[in-house]
Chain A
Amino acid sequence: MKKVSIYKPTTLDEAIRMLSAHGSEAGVYAGGTDLLIRLKNRLTQAPSYLVDIKKIQNLRYIREDAQGNVLIGATTKISEMAESDLLKKRYPMLVEAVNFISSPELRNASTIGGDLLQEVWCQYLRGGYSCWRNGGYICYGAIGDNSYYHSAMGGRLCYAVYPGDAATALIPFDARVRLAGPAGTKELSIEQLVPGDMMVDGRIQSHVVRYNEILTEVVIPAPKPGLKASFEKLRPRGVWDFAMASAAISLQLRNKTIDDARIVFGGISGKPLRETAVEDFLRGKTLTAELGSQAVNVALSNAAPLKYNATKIDMAKGLLVSGLVKLNAAN
């Protein structure tokens, strides 16, 4: 494993100063289920200075604020989200989604902040190939085995898919995140946080968080009455694995009329892919058992599968249909 130095700050300001001092050589360390593997794999982008934020007070909580938003601290474990009575009551779809993340053991270690900002799980990157994210200038996934973990919706140099499930499931609730940095705090939507392959501080990453910023909190607005949501995920294996395709759906219903919709696909693109064409199609429609098979006709029209992964598009469309059927049956 790559040799590292570990800092253990007790305040956010201290952590941000440490990150600023070491530039891109430093990285935030919380659950470690992604970071430690990147170090073990000796990836070029893995940091040499770890800023362990677990000793910082008030980053691990799930609570409701005065406005009815639910706030989740960045170092909250995925297992704590899965067991939260507040989340089960308010956002059962989110709880369902986080139970799909990895294995029970890893959910006990990994944090919501880490899940949102994790590195892609391309087998070529993790295998140490000199690709765009590992000191090189080529994407091996685009020309090699791209059956499982690569984009079927085009790419931007790197063709790996964004692997996180939590982001896909949070977007239908219009969730936001708060970041702390040297200039203060800022708030972004989840879509703004993980817009796909970005060049940030001289590296390619799925998110926009700079080297000296720390994700501190997820903010989920109170769901409006009539909001129904579903999450489904298909994996290469029956138990823990990343999505070949997933679909998170929320419908704002008035009786059976769809006043608003959010459709987000995971596992098929370099970002959680919000499919606004389907959202537009659904708005104003009556939810029926047949609506899914109509909606699928406008879904993912700009798909650009690689040689071995066209089936991911079929999977995603299938999940859209089954999600709408499920919501219709439950309503």
Chain B
Amino acid sequence: MRPIKAILFEPSCIADAEGTYEDVEPAFTELKAMGIQLQIAAEPGETLYVTDNAEGLAKARTAGMIPILLMHDPDEAMRLVANNPAGGVVSLLELPDFIRFVAATTALPSPLSAAP
């Protein structure tokens, strides 16, 4: 995986009918402070596509982006792992650490490059 510059979110990862999820604002604040572009795609291969469904994972791959599974529902997430997401987070609050970890391991062989 190359260093992350942007994240494109699907609407269902940000809010539901009752409003914005509680982790969105603090996560976005920290991500912006890290210089990460939100909702604006950069180079596809440098962009995380955060989704919580199989269609999103497929769309991300088609667009050449990095499909990341948002694992709100553990049982559903365990089923979706069969669709080979490049990675997964339990909460959007984990995205800054996700990106830091990728940056720290950029020079190492990455299993993401082998993902179908």
Contact = CB atoms under 8 A, between A and B. Distances in A.
Contacts of B94: 156-157
B101 interface: yes
Interface residues of A, number: 21
Interface in A115-168: 130, 132, 135-140, 142-144, 155-157, 159
Nearest to A156: B97
The 10 A-B residue pairs with the shortest CB-CB distance, nearest first, are A137-B87, A138-B88, A143-B74, A143-B77, A202-B104, A143-B78, A307-B74, A142-B90, A202-B105, A143-B71
Among A132, A135, A137, A159, the most chain B Cβ lie within 10 Å of the Cβ of: A137
B98 A144 contact: no
Contacts of B111: 130, 135-137
A159 B94 CA distance: 12
Interface of A: 130, 132, 135-140, 142-144, 155-157, 159, 199, 202-204, 306-307
Contacts of A155: 90
A69 to B, nearest CB: 36
Nearest to B72: A143
Could you say which interface size class chain B belongs to? 20 to 34
A138 B94 CA distance: 11
Nearest to A200: B104
Contacts of A202: 104-105, 107-108
15 contacts: A132-B101, A136-B87, A137-B86, A138-B85, A142-B71, A142-B74, A143-B77, A143-B90, A157-B98, A159-B90, A199-B97, A199-B100, A202-B105, A202-B108, A306-B74
Interface of B: 1, 68-69, 71, 74-75, 77-78, 81, 85-90, 94, 97-98, 100-102, 104-105, 107-108, 111-112
A44 to B, nearest CB: 9
A68 to B, nearest CB: 42
Contacts of B107: 202
Interface of A, helix, strand, loop or mixed by DSSP: loop
A169 B107 CA distance: 38
Contact of A139 (B68, B90, B108): B90
B104 A137 contact: no
Given A142-B90, A202-B104, 13 more contacts: A136-B87, A137-B68, A137-B86, A137-B112, A138-B81, A139-B88, A143-B75, A143-B78, A143-B88, A144-B74, A155-B90, A156-B97, A307-B74
Contacts of B87: 136-138
A144 B97 CA distance: 21
Nearest to A132: B101
Contacts of A144: 74, 78
Nearest to A131: B88
Contacts of A157: 89, 94, 97-98, 101
B60 to A, nearest CB: 14
Among A144, A157, A199, the most chain B Cβ lie within 10 Å of the Cβ of: A157
A274 to B, nearest CB: 22
